Amino acid sequence: MDGPYAREITVAITAVQNAVQISSRVLAAKDKGVVEKEDQTPVTVADLAIQALLTASIHASFPDDSFVGEESSKALRASPSLLEAVWALLQEVRESGACVPASREQLCDMLDWCGNGEPSSGRFWVFDPIDGTKAFIRGQNYAINVCLMSGGKQAMSCVGIPMLSPTHTGPINNDTTDSEGSIMIATLGGGVYIRPLAGSPDLPPRRLPRRTADASTRLTAVTCVEGTDSAVPGLNTKVAARLGITYPGNDLLAWVLRWAVCGLGAADCTVWVYRKRERRGKIWDHAGAILLFEEAGGKVSDVHGRPIDFMAGRTMTGNFGFVGALEGVHGHVLATVQDIVKEEGLLDLLQ
């Protein structure tokens, strides 16, 4: 692809392709190397190895850039056996030409560059090595998210979707498992594209259309049916019923995939209102992935209607919840969400 981020895109595509080699090896293994983190969410050897690979690959080409990522080295430093398992995975892909950390200590340090990283005013990269880890462990749909932030804005997005074909039609769910994967790419103001996962980084991608909507448009949603421990119970179904939205339309655990299917055109909107006021999104679940939808004609705000602030920190403390819809209907969808929250007696969520 041409444009101001052509080199970044080429490097990111290569890194994502190498990362999928790791995730595919772990998927094929009986033992996924699952560790439970302090927040009771799972992490696998694939998450750790992929984040290290992405960091090493990007750092080799852009040594002045910084990083923010989901994982740190805490689990590796506490478990020599886990460290060796991750190191072994990286050595396997090194043999095929992938750029990986040069030593075990550098592996841990690079994980900590991400795990301790914070948004900055300059250039920084955001990684979610495996978004949808629970689905990944089950052998279901997951994504690898790479985003370049510059000047506080999403500049470039490169998302690997190993189980989704670039020609897929119909609903996209957790158990959608095409044999051919894809990569989605977007640049700020440059549109959104899709290409097969395999092939040269220079393979021309297909541009996806920028879509519009108005009050007469029949919308399709993407949501997470199993996310009732996080979202206000029943709110998504009530919003869909009031707006005449096809629901669930698409059912996905991973946030990156939810934004991606909106960018693809398989969905036109997604809504999420956390059941607790203190809940916030994580930057690696949204940065870059939201750009895929915005470049396809989407608009994304929080439940209050505020723009998404990616500079508020690793935990996105400047926003509460998400309302994404094609720009022409975003205001109507947002107002409907707010009305239903009020009707449910949850006024504290709008304060």
Q: Binding site residues for Mg(2+), as ranges? A: 70, 128, 130-131, 285
* DSSP per residue, 66-130: EEEES--SHHHHH-HHHHHHHHHHHHHHHTTT----SSHHHHHHHHHHHHT----SS-EEEEEEE
Structure tokens at 321: 């919840």
What value does the CA radius of gyration of the chain take, rounded to a whole number of Å? 19
Query: How far apart are the C-alpha atoms of 292 and 271, rounded to whole Å?
Result: 16
Query: How far apart are the C-alpha atoms of 327 and 24, rounded to whole Å?
Result: 37
Q: Residue type at 126?
A: V
Binding-site annotation: residue ranges: 70, 128, 130-131, 285
End-to-end CA distance of the chain: 44
Phi, psi values for residue 284, rounded to 5°: -70, -15
Q: Give the SS3 label for residue 214.
A: coil
